[in-house]
Structure 1
Amino acid sequence: MAMKSRALSTAPQHGGRPRSAAIVLGTVIGWHAAAAAGYVIWALTLPAHNSDGVCEGLGWGCTPPPRDGAFLLGVFVGVPLVMISTVIAMAMGTWLVLRRRTTPVWAGTAATLVAVPATVVGAFVLYGANVF
């Protein structure tokens, strides 16, 4: 009968916490990816040309088409907000799991449902305060 060394074991040593953190991270990233995919699909349904005949582009009185404007908004505003929201949700989800309040999937989902609106509201407050 061979004895297994605990040092060589791949099983979690602390009640599954490292694996739980990975599940929370996967859940948070999954929800954020789903939201980003929904935004891209919505942006693709917008018109690619201005309907009122206004010149297209940036500057000299021209405006970008709705589709281009949505992509610019997504890149310059959406990406930073998603990054901030992911960090907040990851911290909240990890805290919930470490406190053993819920399962990792529910912790990641609940944390995302709190972090995303909080980040968006925070961005509007900062924008209204002329911080940007």
Structure 2
Amino acid sequence: MSNIEMVQKLSNGINAVENVTIETENGKHDFMMRPLSDGELTRLQVIEKKPYSMTMEFNPNGKRGKTSDNNEMELGMGEFTESQAEALYNAVALSLSVDGEKVTADDIRNMDKGIPELLFNEVIRISTLTEKDLSAVKSFRKF
């Protein structure tokens, strides 16, 4: 198999569209969803990690100082919550963008309370996401 054939084979994941039914108090709703690509997952990780701020000090030789003495990390919890929600909205929007339709994060953000989360559970399943992929997955893992 040539390299281009292998790339095409491994890219078919985003074309593996699946019919998903979620149930709300208003009844059952059907959606067509697809798995996330590796590139999309990388963009979601950037969104999710945006509130992290790390300061590192370097010694005169240009080497990093001792971790325990010179490095600091800041994280605003409100910003962290917003970034996880933004990653969730974007993940659902990407997964719902099938057959040439473009669903936006705003479309998902404006859904009734609880529906984005139900759809995100399906994105997790379809894309086989783990906590290593996105920290938001931890909140939705069913034990």
TM-score bracket, normalised by the shorter chain, equals under 0.3
Which structure would you say has the larger RCO, counting Cα contacts within 8 Å and 6 or more residues apart?
1
| Higher Cα radius of gyration | 1
Structure (1 or 2) with the greater strand fraction = 2
- Normalised to the residue count of structure 2, the TM-score between the two structures is 0.24
- Normalised to the residue count of structure 1, the TM-score between the two structures is 0.25
